[in-house]
Amino acid sequence: MYLQRRNRILRQSPAIRSLVAETILTPNDFIVPLFISEGENVKDEIASMPGYYRMSLDNTVKEVKELWSMGLKSVLLFIKCKDELKDNKGTEALNPKGLMQRSIRAVKEACPDMLVMTDVALDPFSSYGHDGIVEGSEIVNDATVEVLAQMSVSHAQAGADFVAPSDMMDGRIAAIREALEENDLHKTGIMSYSAKYASSFYGPFRDALDSAPGFGDKKTYQMDYSNRIEAVKETLMDVEEGADIVMVKPALAYLDIIREVKNAVSVPVSAYNISGEYAMIKAAAKMGWIDENKAILETLTAIKRAGADLIATYFAKDAVKLIS
């Protein structure tokens, strides 16, 4: 048989495959989400996220040092608010001595070069488990945006490098940028969850923070998964309003959106490999149906190949071990 081109030539050994690989994961690609709770020496495994933990601040600080020593350079903080501190307006979110603010300070003190990003949304603080203020059965936009802007200032004052609004209210990026400027917080960046979809894959995260919506769903603010063009509109608006980094979330069922957004913007694009995506791999691996390590690397490489410059993932530590 005579063939002018033999494509298998470039696949015939590990050496040639690695030489021509288009997408290579590095520790610089990852953002590590951390779940923080009150207490001391707490390390609770999240039932629907085997191998992932909710930790008190002392253990979180140890974890952050370990992450840094592994070459991981960025953490995304989430806190579990005590039930008695929750209300409709997210009052506790603005407490300068709240768990989030204390966590930011402690992490920055223990590991000053670690980039600290913080979740900005009301759901962990909301008695309704919604990302915004509830009036009747509505999640109101403008009053929520005011709180999100104050929350961002509070996080920045505690030392956050980036605030990461995950709420999908309209106009929040502009309001947050303006509030940061007014408070002379010129160095604080915004990583916007700009195309965040109403997804069934957030379940394990809501278990971790006890933040499931008390009524209804999040479909009036998070995006409809039927839509692709809308993701570009949302993202371009966030860039216009001042987002430094944009995000597509979830990642795995939304690889087309990641690519679409990557082609449309000139800021870094992140993708969130979310809790349900983590749980699926863990569950299938536990059943012996897939090889966990191979599935992790394939998944993360695919997300990067789709166009993500950064990936928030619960697999960050596993991935670093696997690629080193």
Enumerate the active-site residues: 196, 249
Calpha distance 14→128 (Å, rounded): 53
Binding segment (CB under 6 A) for ligand PBG, from list 22-30, 184-192, 202-210, 284-292: 202-210
User: In whole angstroms, how close is the CB of 260 to ligand PBG at the nearest point?
Assistant: 21
Is residue 131 near ligand PBG by the rule CB under 6 A?
Answer: yes
CB-nearer residue toward ligand PBG: 131 or 260: 131
Sign of CA dihedral 258, 115, 200, 151: negative
User: How many residues of this chain interact with ligand PBG, rule: CB under 6 A?
Assistant: 12
Beta carbons within 10 angstroms of residue 64's beta carbon = 23
The correct pick among 52, 125, 202, 221 for binding ligand PBG (CB under 6 A) is 202
SS3 101: helix
For residue 166, give the nearest of 98, 83, 223 by alpha carbon.
223
Is residue 128 near ligand PBG by the rule CB under 6 A?
Answer: no
CB-nearer residue toward ligand PBG: 79 or 114: 79
C-beta of residue 114 within 8 angstroms of C-beta of residue 155: no
For residue 224, give the nearest of 234, 211, 213 by alpha carbon.
234
Is residue 254 near ligand PBG by the rule CB under 6 A?
Answer: no
User: In whole angstroms, how close is the CB of 258 to ligand PBG at the nearest point?
Assistant: 16
Calpha distance 11→17 (Å, rounded): 5
The correct pick among 119, 238, 241, 260 for binding ligand PBG (CB under 6 A) is 119
Is residue 74 near ligand PBG by the rule CB under 6 A?
Answer: no
The correct pick among 35, 125, 162, 205 for binding ligand PBG (CB under 6 A) is 205
The correct pick among 188, 275, 299, 301 for binding ligand PBG (CB under 6 A) is 275
Site string for ligand PBG, 152-171 (x = CB under 6 A): --------------xx----
* Alpha helices (H) along the chain: 14-20, 57-69, 99-110, 141-158, 172-182, 203-209, 229-241, 255-264, 275-286, 292-306, 316-323
Is residue 274 near ligand PBG by the rule CB under 6 A?
Answer: yes
CB-nearer residue toward ligand PBG: 20 or 212: 212
CB-nearer residue toward ligand PBG: 141 or 183: 141
- Cβ neighbours of residue 297 closer than 8 Å, sequence gap 6 or more: 25, 319, 322, 323
C-beta of residue 75 within 8 angstroms of C-beta of residue 34: yes
C-beta of residue 197 within 8 angstroms of C-beta of residue 228: no
Is residue 123 near ligand PBG by the rule CB under 6 A?
Answer: yes
C-beta of residue 46 within 8 angstroms of C-beta of residue 278: no
Binding segment (CB under 6 A) for ligand PBG, from list 117-125, 155-163, 227-235, 291-299: 117-125
The contact set with ligand PBG (CB under 6 A) reads 119, 121, 123, 131, 166-167, 202, 205-206, 218, 274-275
